[in-house]
Amino acid sequence: MRSIPFYDSAGPLNPRNVLAEHKLVLIRMTNAGARYIPVLNDAPLRARQVRFLDWWNNPVLKDQAGITFCRRELILNVADTDGGAHVDSELDAKYMALSRANSLGWQFSADNIVKALEGRPELACVRQIAHELLGTIRLSAPQFLA
């Protein structure tokens, strides 16, 4: 499937943006708090089709320190450290900061309570990546969905 175009719901990061950027997830806010959720089809239409290597390797997330992640890094870190084929006992430092230490830096504040957003942004990203993959298969290789 590497030769077919892949559905990209993220687009490129903005190099002039000094804030954290997370193109595969949204922040859902309520009166009780806020959490990371996958974009799915809820964002303004910005999807495009790109080559697999660009889809897999282009940055889609940037934390407060400017550290970026591509889909490949997100998928392999989740699979290798949080389950899947095996579980590594030690986390990569930048993945640790993203998944466990709120390196995106977003917080919810209400009634003198300040807390990090709920959920894990890397897991919401993985869900969005799966959504993109399913969209790719639907458009370019529907025979695999039978």
- Number of structural domains (the chain) is 1
Does the pTM exceed 0.85? yes
The lowest-confidence range among 19-28, 46-55, 85-94, 108-117 is: 85-94
pLDDT for the residue numbered 86: 58
* DSSP structural state of residue 103: T
Quick check: 87 pLDDT over 80? no
pLDDT for the residue numbered 146: 74
Which range marks the domain in which residue 83 is found?
6-140
Percent share of the chain, pLDDT over 90: 70
What is the C-alpha to C-alpha distance for residues 132 and 11, in angstroms, rounded to an integer?
12
Q: Is residue 146 assigned to a domain?
A: no
Q: Is residue 91 assigned to a domain?
A: yes
Q: Is residue 63 assigned to a domain?
A: yes
Confidence of residue 139 (pLDDT cuts 50, 70, 90): confident
